[in-house]
């Protein structure tokens, strides 16, 4: 059992209220004093906030909330998201990390959160992991104006949970956990969803078993958990006992793509007719990705989410007889699922996925296609893809993209769904 408790010096660093703090730094404002919200106010009061400043969090406003949920008595400024700015700031911070550790010992978890393995650097810097964390956080603030919190632990799990649950309580934003802290700090976490890796659905399943805290989960028979949840059950038990064998080096090998997916939240109600335009535009994006990576799909998934007034929706998939990267074929499958399951309710979300990916090997034909037509389609698709790569996504669009219900041209101006 001793070998399960690896002893490294891992830091998990998170940039506080990242998007909102970037906006404050650009404006010369103090995010701890200025109530600021990052949201696209052109979407109205239903717009979801991407971030709020600590000044608003201290008034009880969570990071992710719709504008109409913010109490009317709270005054705040709304600024639109600027993804280019956030990516640039994130790169600045990553370059600071790389001043302290090599790329092999850095794992970029998200745009505002990273893991650093500093085990082999402490002797060189002649500092403890805690002292080095203090120096790194001060450097980030001095060079970028951004503040951060840091969790330190003997493995990635405990570093992350220390950061999530305790670091923000301290003035310097640093919390260090050891294996000795597990009973007092890890096992007392409740509700379960406050633990990294446990979502609302798993929390509900565990509550059914009368498990309400991490301590109760740690003392549950692991074979029973395995019977109930499979391999995930064993991982839950390990994490509840502070066990995590993953190393930052494990994340350096890129996994093979298992599926491509694309979803879009619509900012007005669509019906079964005008949503077909959105479907066609989304499929064009997915099919271009398939062709660019020389992949083909054999499983098409399609789903709709309905307006909040009616809620609900559906998601279904169809396995193809032969793989494809054809926009036309994927669109036809999506329309088939739409016609079969759509029940005339207002639509606010569209989701499409391409799974069962295989490497492309020549033109795929079925008995009902002519090779001339298929080759002509391949040439047209290749020509369109090359033009978009060279001159930009909006350099060539379908005439339908000029229609009122189209979102393609506007989406092509964005990064990650937000304006540059």
**Structural domain spans, the chain:** 1-179, 187-245, 259-419
Q: What is the mean pLDDT of the chain?
A: 85
Q: Which of 23, 113, 203, 329 is catalytic?
A: 113
Tokens at 251, concatenated: 């994340």
Residue 255 has pLDDT above 70, yes or no: no
d(CA 9, CA 20): 30
63-75 mean pLDDT: 88
Between the CA atoms of 13, 18, 23 and 24, what dihedral angle is there, to the nearest 10 degrees? -60
279-313 pLDDT, tens per residue?
A: 999 998 898 888 888 889 999 999 999 987 777 88
Which of these CATH numbers, 3.30.70.920, 1.10.3720.10, 3.40.50.2000, 3.30.1490.100, describes 259-419?
Answer: 3.30.1490.100
- Catalytic annotation present for 2: no
* DSSP 8-state assignment for residue 306: E
Exposure string of 43-53, with b = 16+ CB inside 10 Å and e = fewer, is eeeebebbbbb
In the structure, what pLDDT confidence band is assigned to residue 204 with cuts at 50, 70 and 90?
very high
Least confident of 16-30, 41-55, 61-75, 401-415: 401-415
- Banded pLDDT at 41 (limits 50, 70, 90): confident
**Domain spanning 1-179, CATH class:** alpha beta
Euclidean distance between CA atoms 335 and 315, whole angstroms:
13
- Provide the CATH topology of domain 187-245: DNA polymerase; domain 1 (1.10.150)
Global confidence as pTM: 0.63
Mean pLDDT lowest for which of 1-5, 147-151, 328-332, 401-405? 401-405
Quick check: 9 pLDDT over 80? yes
């Amino acid at each position: 059992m001793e070998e399960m408790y690896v002893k490294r010096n891992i830091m998990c660093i998170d940039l506080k209220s990242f998007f909102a703090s970037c906006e404050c730094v650009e404006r010369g404002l103090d995010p701890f004093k200025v109530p600021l919200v990052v949201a696209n106010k052109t979407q109205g009061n239903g717009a979801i906030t991407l971030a709020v400043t600590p000044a608003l969090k201290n008034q009880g406003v969570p990071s992710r909330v719709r504008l109409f949920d913010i109490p009317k008595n709270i005054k705040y400024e709304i600024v639109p998201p600027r993804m280019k700015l956030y990516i640039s700031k994130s790169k600045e911070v990553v370059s600071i990390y790389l001043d302290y550790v090599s790329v092999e010992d850095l794992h970029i978890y998200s745009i505002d959160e990273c893991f650093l393995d500093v085990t082999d650097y402490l002797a060189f810097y002649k500092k403890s992991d805690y002292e080095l964390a203090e120096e790194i956080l001060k450097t980030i603030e001095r060079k970028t104006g951004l503040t951060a919190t840091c969790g330190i632990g003997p493995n990635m799990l405990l570093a992350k949970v220390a950061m999530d649950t305790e670091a923000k309580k301290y003035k310097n934003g640093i919390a260090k956990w050891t294996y000795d802290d597990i009973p007092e700090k890890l096992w007392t976490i409740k509700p379960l969803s406050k633990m990294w890796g446990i979502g609302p659905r798993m929390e509900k399943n565990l509550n059914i078993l009368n498990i309400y805290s991490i301590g109760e989960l740690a003392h549950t028979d692991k074979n029973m958990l395995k019977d109930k949840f499979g391999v995930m059950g064993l991982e839950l038990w390990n994490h509840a006992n502070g066990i995590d064998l993953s190393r930052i080096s494990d994340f350096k090998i890129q996994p093979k793509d298992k599926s491509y997916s694309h979803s879009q939240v619509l900012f007005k109600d669509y019906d079964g007719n005008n949503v077909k335009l959105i479907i066609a535009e989304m499929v064009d994006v997915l099919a271009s990705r398939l062709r660019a990576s020389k992949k083909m799909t054999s499983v098409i998934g399609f789903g709709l989410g309905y307006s909040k007034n009616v809620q609900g929706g559906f998601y279904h998939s169809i396995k193809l007889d032969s793989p494809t990267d054809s926009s036309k074929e994927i669109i036809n499958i999506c329309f088939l699922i739409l016609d079969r399951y759509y029940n005339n309710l207002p639509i606010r979300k569209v989701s499409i996925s391409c799974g069962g990916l295989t490497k492309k090997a020549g033109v795929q034909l079925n008995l009902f296609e002519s090779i001339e037509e298929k080759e002509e389609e391949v040439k047209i698709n290749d020509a369109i893809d090359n033009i978009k790569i060279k001159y930009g996504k909006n350099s060539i669009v379908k005439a339908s993209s000029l229609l009122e219900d189209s979102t393609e041209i506007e989406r092509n101006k964005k990064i990650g769904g937000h304006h540059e």
